[in-house]
């Protein structure tokens, strides 16, 4: 008799992906400037630690918010007892206004259409439960965030079918790729319930073009399916072209009275833009009342604590603060991304041109000894164990081309980033020296008459100059 349920023991959780294994390796030997200067540097974690000082100075200037007080009076008891799964109205209002601010107020949000969840993780899973049956499918463009295998599939039984994107056009979504994914799902007898995209993309660090968004909207309209846009990185866009939310495209195409209006859903969270993944604040925004009502009931399994809602409603309602925070944070991200791109360039490594996110999508194809995922894993192991950098291999993001890696730049200090660049540069130089040495060896071998080489091998398996 099995003691645990099938759900508890099935491995669609993805815990054994190199994305999570890299974190485990880091935990065994974490870099610390003083205590462990030769340890592994964590560059596999999409955390934003660049603007904590701004949040901390706001907290110091607003002690009531974190101290359970309103106008100097304690509201501890009120907060301790509050458990309404609709959430605090003042927090929902502040959150939707913050979301509109990030989108340059080109779109507005109705606070009655938002559902609070414990992070985007919970928001994405809740949407799967609301929109699909076990065994039905969502189409996702590759490469995608490795956590989606856990968040979308594990407990819901929903399947992911990849939309294959390639480097030939900077990994953009195309009409044939969408159609192929749809056909592939049908071949596998999976009913397609929708498309899920991340805009800006994790792991690419790019925003979607209007062209792609229009294509997506036309596709889901024609097929009569849902579109989920995970916009968790919407506040991290630091260069042009700016961010365009799918809601803006819906509005521009005057879809208000069409059926697709109710089939587009947004996921958001404060984990990246405010750098607060520990606070577990996420949201679903939908124009469909039935989705909002079902998701609200389901949110009982992953509520945001009232204490957190209270604190953040005060912070997000301070418009002067949020406006300054958004622009200052973007400036800092831009400077970091530039540092990484330039540093890697000096090591002969190029990054996909990016304008958003907390990471770069890095091309190390030329460091593979053959164009295979086995070689990608070999290179990754060397980078983790010898170079002592934890980065995420493209295969963990379901990339179809070997040799791409996601490298995070906002969770470490500038000094640590410089050290990481230096380590990688030395590694590439040593690889180049090795291959130069090997080329020399093989060219010398070529210059010897064939019979000499054959003879020497017959007698001794070492190459001539090594004897
Ligand atoms: C695209 C995407 N969606 C969702 C999540 C989960 O975020 P949260 O911490 O809000 O659960 C992440 C986290 O890395 C992400 O990159």
The per-residue pLDDT for range 368-381, each reduced to its tens digit, is: 999 999 999 999 99
Please check the confidence at residue 441 and state whether its pLDDT lies above 90: no
Q: In this structure, are 74 and 107 located in the same domain? A: yes
Q: In this structure, are 91 and 240 located in the same domain? A: yes
Q: In this structure, are 256 and 360 located in the same domain? A: no
pTM for this structure?
0.92
Three-state SS for 350?
strand
Average the pLDDT over each of 130-139, 168-177, 331-340, 425-434 and give the range with the smallest value. 425-434
The DSSP symbol for 30 reads: B
Q: In this structure, are 278 and 403 located in the same domain? A: no
pLDDT score, position 183: 98
Residue 230 is among the residues annotated as catalytic for this protein: yes
Q: In this structure, are 79 and 198 located in the same domain? A: yes
Beta-carbon count within 10 A of 418 CB: 14
pLDDT level of residue 302 (50, 70, 90 thresholds): very high
Please check the confidence at residue 465 and state whether its pLDDT lies above 50: no
Domain that holds residue 124: 63-322
Q: In this structure, are 251 and 355 located in the same domain? A: no
Residue 84 is among the residues annotated as catalytic for this protein: no
Domain count, the chain: 2
Query: Taking all residues of the chain, what is their mean pLDDT, rounded to a whole number?
Result: 92
Q: In this structure, are 40 and 184 located in the same domain? A: no
With respect to residue 256, please indicate whether it lies within any of the assigned structural domains.
yes
Q: Which residue, 290, 322, 354, sits at the end of a domain?
A: 322
Q: Classify residue 386 as exposed, middle or buried by CB count within 10 Å of its CB (0-12, 13-18, 19+).
A: exposed
Residue 325 is among the residues annotated as catalytic for this protein: no
Please check the confidence at residue 456 and state whether its pLDDT lies above 60: no
Q: In this structure, are 389 and 248 located in the same domain? A: no
Helix (H) or strand (E) run with residue 173 in it: none
Query: Which residue has 């260069």 as its token pair?
Result: 239
In the chain, helix, strand, coil percent, each to 5? 50, 15, 35
Q: How far apart are CA 268 and CA 192, in angstroms?
A: 23
Pairing mode, strands 404-408 and 359-363? antiparallel
pLDDT level of residue 436 (50, 70, 90 thresholds): low
Residue having the nearest C-alpha atom to atom 7 of ligand 1:
120
Mean pLDDT score, 145-156? 95
Ligand 1, atom nearest to 281 Cα? 10
Please check the confidence at residue 191 and state whether its pLDDT lies above 60: yes
pLDDT score, position 310: 96
Residue 310 is among the residues annotated as catalytic for this protein: no
Q: Which of 160, 232, 266, 391 is catalytic?
A: 232
What are the tens digits of pLDDT across the range 221-276? Answer: 999 999 999 999 999 999 999 999 999 999 999 998 899 999 999 999 999 999 99
Q: In this structure, are 305 and 339 located in the same domain? A: no
What separation in Å is there between the alpha carbon of 452 and the centre of ligand 1? 61
CATH number at residue 115: 3.40.640.10
Residues contacting ligand 1 via CB (< 6 Å) = 46, 119-121, 145, 147, 198, 202, 230, 232, 269, 271, 277, 282
Q: Which of 149, 151, 230, 273 is catalytic?
A: 230
């Amino acid at each position: 008799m099995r003691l645990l349920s099938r759900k508890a023991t099935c491995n669609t959780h993805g815990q054994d992906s190199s994305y999570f294994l890299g974190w485990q390796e880091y935990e065994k030997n974490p870099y610390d400037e003083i205590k462990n200067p030769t340890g592994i540097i964590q560059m596999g974690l999409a955390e934003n630690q660049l603007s904590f000082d701004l949040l901390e100075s706001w907290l110091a200037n607003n002690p009531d918010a974190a101290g359970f007080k309103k106008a100097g009076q304690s509201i501890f008891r009120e907060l301790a007892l509050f458990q309404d799964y609709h959430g605090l109205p003042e927090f929902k209002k502040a959150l939707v206004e913050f979301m509109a601010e990030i989108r340059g107020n080109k779109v507005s949000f109705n606070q009655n259409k938002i559902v609070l969840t414990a992070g985007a993780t919970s928001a994405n899973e809740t949407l799967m439960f609301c929109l699909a049956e076990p065994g039905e499918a969502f189409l996702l463009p590759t490469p995608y965030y490795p956590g989606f295998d856990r968040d979308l599939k594990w407990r819901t039984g929903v399947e992911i079918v990849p939309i294959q994107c390639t480097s030939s056009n900077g990994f953009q979504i195309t009409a044939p790729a969408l159609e192929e994914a749809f056909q592939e799902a049908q071949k596998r007898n999976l009913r397609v319930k929708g498309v899920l995209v991340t805009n800006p993309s994790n792991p690419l660090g790019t925003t979607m073009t209007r062209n792609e968004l229009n294509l997506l909207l036309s596709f889901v309209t024609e097929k009569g399916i849902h579109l989920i846009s995970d916009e968790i990185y919407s506040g991290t866009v630091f260069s042009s072209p700016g961010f365009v939310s799918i809601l803006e495209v819906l509005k521009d195409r005057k879809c208000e009275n069409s059926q697709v209006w109710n089939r587009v859903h947004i996921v958001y969270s404060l984990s990246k833009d405010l750098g607060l993944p520990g606070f577990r604040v996420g949201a679903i925004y939908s124009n469909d009342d039935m989705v909002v009502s079902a998701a609200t009931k389901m949110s009982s399994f992953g509520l945001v604590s009232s204490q957190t809602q209270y604190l953040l409603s005060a912070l997000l309602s301070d418009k002067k603060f949020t406006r300054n925070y958004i622009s200052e944070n973007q400036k800092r991200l831009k400077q970091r991304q530039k540092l990484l791109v330039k540093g890697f360039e000096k090591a002969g490594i190029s990054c996909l041109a990016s304008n958003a996110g907390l990471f770069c999508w890095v091309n190390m194809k030329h460091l593979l000894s053959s164009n295979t995922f086995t070689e990608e894993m070999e290179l990754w192991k060397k980078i983790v164990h010898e170079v002592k950098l934890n980065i995420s291999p493209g295969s963990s993001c379901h990339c179809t081309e070997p040799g791409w890696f996601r490298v995070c730049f906002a969770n470490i200090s500038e000094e640590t980033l410089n050290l990481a660049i230096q380590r990688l540069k030395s590694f590439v130089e040593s690889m180049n020296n090795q291959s130069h040495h090997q080329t020399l060896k093989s060219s010398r071998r070529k210059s010897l008459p064939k019979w000499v080489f054959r003879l020497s091998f017959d007698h001794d398996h070492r190459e001539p100059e090594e004897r």
